[in-house]
Amino acid sequence: MSTPVVHVIGAGVSGLAAAVRLAGAGNRVVVYDSAGHAGGRCRSYLDTTLGRRIDNGNHLLLSGNDQVMSFLGATGATDTLTGPDKTEFPFLDLASGERWTVRPGKWRLPLWLLCKHMRVPGSTVWDYLSALKMAWASSRATVADCLNTSRPLYRKFWQPLTAAVLNTEPEEGAASLLWPVLKETFGRGAAACRPLMASEGLSETFVDPAIDYIGRHGGEVHLNQRLRTIQFQNGRVIALEFPDSTVKVGADDFVILALPHDVASGLLPGVQTPTENRAIVNGHFRLDKAPDGVTFMGLVGGIAQWLFVRGDIVSITVSAADELAVRAGEDIAVDLWTDVCRALDLGDSPLPPYRIVKEKRATFAATPEQATRRPVCQTEWANLMLAGDWTATGLPATIEGAVTSGHAAAKAVFDTYTGHVG
Ligand SMILES: Cc1cc2nc3c(=O)[nH]c(=O)nc-3n(C[C@H](O)[C@H](O)[C@H](O)COP(=O)(O)OP(=O)(O)OC[C@H]3O[C@@H](n4cnc5c(N)ncnc54)[C@H](O)[C@@H]3O)c2cc1C
């Protein structure tokens, strides 16, 4: 059997992760994306109003995101991440003005919880340990089902954390999707839950180095190529139809569909996918000067859950934001600016130049019901694999989930053509 060509449709993080792994192993990889840029839901661009490059949305990673670290290690982009030297999560209650910092200890066992100054104010050791119920929760349980929602820890920690990780409120978010993230990060101690962000921009960390890597390994990335139809014969994909061309898929070749779930389901009738999404709204504000000493901050008691600072741009994130996303951008800006002023002690400063970015389909809704609709990577067609943060990775729709899905699709390709399974 000759070395196959692998056609990867979708140049978001999942498609790029699959392509990097396959190209690095000596396969010929061709990537296609319908947009004029790669990166999908994780990208940077020049905003002309602000006169700055901004991200489509703030993306927070944790150092325990092993698949992401492996992807960035391969493309040489690990150094493009930045974060506080210590594993610390500063929080502010915008309603009361109370500030506190969550500082996970270095041990795998959460012995740090015994130290009162390392816990959220008003919380007990038992408040944290009761979250272990998530480990045994049924697939139908929500995060809130496993926690005492009347305790201060719920509002001060679990609510913003769940909204950030699942992009779904804890009252409807699946415990089975939050637990693996807690286990891989907070469960492994401080070294695995250091907060990390792209220092320059998401594209400079996740997209451009991957495209360079694919090119250096003989692959190609074609933009403005919308896949319209897939031709099948005898249980295999035989051709891909783009508006101006039809690409033949040879007998030894493979296709990885790394598309949003609604696009994939349109191309593959009969394949079950999630059907509901949740929005994320980001507000980017350009200050007169960069604020001192703030990198990021968790917020409760206002509208936003997280605030990030990059130079003179302050960006604020509202997850699970379906209600907010239907409002006019001007109104949203005024309300989010109030949160920024309180968080950074800016008094009643006038609204500066801003950009509101509404991602109405930011992620699939991480509810127990939607989680059952996630398909596995291998399809009924022998040479067609699925990738994307909505596939059955066991993780929520995050960068770690997207990279995991891309790596799984690459492995499925290897296993099929080498005949190796395991
Ligand atoms: C605002 C926002 C904030 C987020 N914050 C975080 C965070 O803090 N931490 C975190 O870990 N994750 C975060 N995420 C989630 C993360 O961005 C996604 O999980 C990840 O980018 C998904 O990658 P993907 O490859 O699965 O999908 P996508 O990025 O959607 O990629 C799919 C690609 O397919 C292309 N495409 C669509 N149709 C076609 C077609 N017919 N033919 C060819 N190509 C097509 C699209 O252009 C796109 O490039 C956030 C997401 C958003 C939107």
pLDDT digits over 265-311, tens only?
Answer: 999 989 999 999 999 999 999 999 988 888 899 999 999 999 999 99
Q: Express each pLDDT in 133-189 by its tens digit.
A: 999 999 999 999 999 999 888 988 899 999 999 999 999 999 999 999 999 988 888
Atom 26 of ligand 1, nearest CA residue: 388
- 13 close to ligand 1 (CB < 6 Angstrom): yes
Assigned domain for 61 exists: no
* pLDDT number for residue 2: 65
State both tokens at 329. 């951008």
Q: Express each pLDDT in 55-67 by its tens digit.
A: 999 999 999 999 9
Q: What is the DSSP letter of 383?
A: T
Residue whose token pair is 């200890």: 105
Assigned domain for 342 exists: no
pLDDT of 30 over the 70 cut: yes
- 57 close to ligand 1 (CB < 6 Angstrom): yes
* Continuous segment of H or E residues that includes residue 385: strand 384-386
**171 plus 211 within the same structural domain:** no
**Domain end call among 159, 193, 227:** 193
* pLDDT number for residue 113: 67
Assigned domain for 220 exists: yes
- 64 close to ligand 1 (CB < 6 Angstrom): no
**104 plus 167 within the same structural domain:** yes
- Contact between 14 and 388 under an 8 Å Cβ cutoff? The reply is yes
> Which domain CATH number covers 377?
3.50.50.60
* pLDDT number for residue 123: 81
* pLDDT number for residue 419: 64
**96 plus 184 within the same structural domain:** yes
**174 plus 224 within the same structural domain:** no
- 263 close to ligand 1 (CB < 6 Angstrom): yes
**228 plus 175 within the same structural domain:** no
Q: Express each pLDDT in 341-393 by its tens digit.
A: 999 999 999 999 999 999 999 999 999 999 999 999 999 999 999 999 999 99
Question: Rounded to whole angstroms, what are the CA distances from 312 to 62, 236, 388?
Answer: 24, 52, 33
Assigned domain for 26 exists: yes
- Burial level of 1, CB count in 10 A (0-12/13-18/19+)? exposed
| DSSP bridge partners of 316 | 283, 307
Q: Considering only the C-alpha atoms of the chain, give the largest distance between any 2 of them, rounded to a whole number of Å.
A: 69
Atom 46 of ligand 1, nearest CA residue: 40
* pLDDT number for residue 130: 82
Report the alpha-carbon distance of residue 207 to residue 184 in Å, rounded. Answer: 25
- How many structural domains is the chain composed of? 2
Atom 6 of ligand 1, nearest CA residue: 59
**93 plus 187 within the same structural domain:** yes
More confident residue, 110 or 320: 320
- 264 close to ligand 1 (CB < 6 Angstrom): no
Domain that holds residue 184: 89-193
- 60 close to ligand 1 (CB < 6 Angstrom): yes
**138 plus 185 within the same structural domain:** yes
**104 plus 141 within the same structural domain:** yes
* pLDDT number for residue 422: 42
| DSSP bridge partners of 324 | none
Question: Taking the C-alpha atoms of 281, 62, 221 and 27 in order, what is their torsion angle to the nearest 10 degrees?
Answer: -150
Question: How many C-beta atoms surround the C-beta of residue 155 within 10 A?
Answer: 16
**94 plus 188 within the same structural domain:** yes
Assigned domain for 23 exists: yes
- Contact between 14 and 405 under an 8 Å Cβ cutoff? The reply is yes
Instruction: Choose one of 30, 32, 59, 361 to mutate for the ligand 1 pocket test, by most ligand atoms within 8 angstroms of C-beta.
Output: 59
Assigned domain for 142 exists: yes
State both tokens at 220. 């190609």
**389 plus 261 within the same structural domain:** yes
What is the residue type of 350? P
pTM for this prediction: 0.96
**Domain end call among 135, 161, 193:** 193
Assigned domain for 302 exists: no
- Quote the mean pLDDT of the chain: 93
Assigned domain for 231 exists: yes
State both tokens at 408. 């799984």
**181 plus 94 within the same structural domain:** yes
List Cβ neighbours of 287 (8 Å cut-off, separation of 6 or more): 312, 313, 314, 352
What is the residue type of 101? T
- 56 close to ligand 1 (CB < 6 Angstrom): yes
Closest atom of ligand 1 to 362 CA is 53
Instruction: Choose one of 42, 60, 316, 361 to mutate for the ligand 1 pocket test, by most ligand atoms within 8 angstroms of C-beta.
Output: 42
Q: Express each pLDDT in 209-266 by its tens digit.
A: 999 999 999 999 999 999 999 999 999 999 999 999 999 999 999 999 999 999 999 9
**108 plus 215 within the same structural domain:** no
Closest atom of ligand 1 to 397 CA is 19
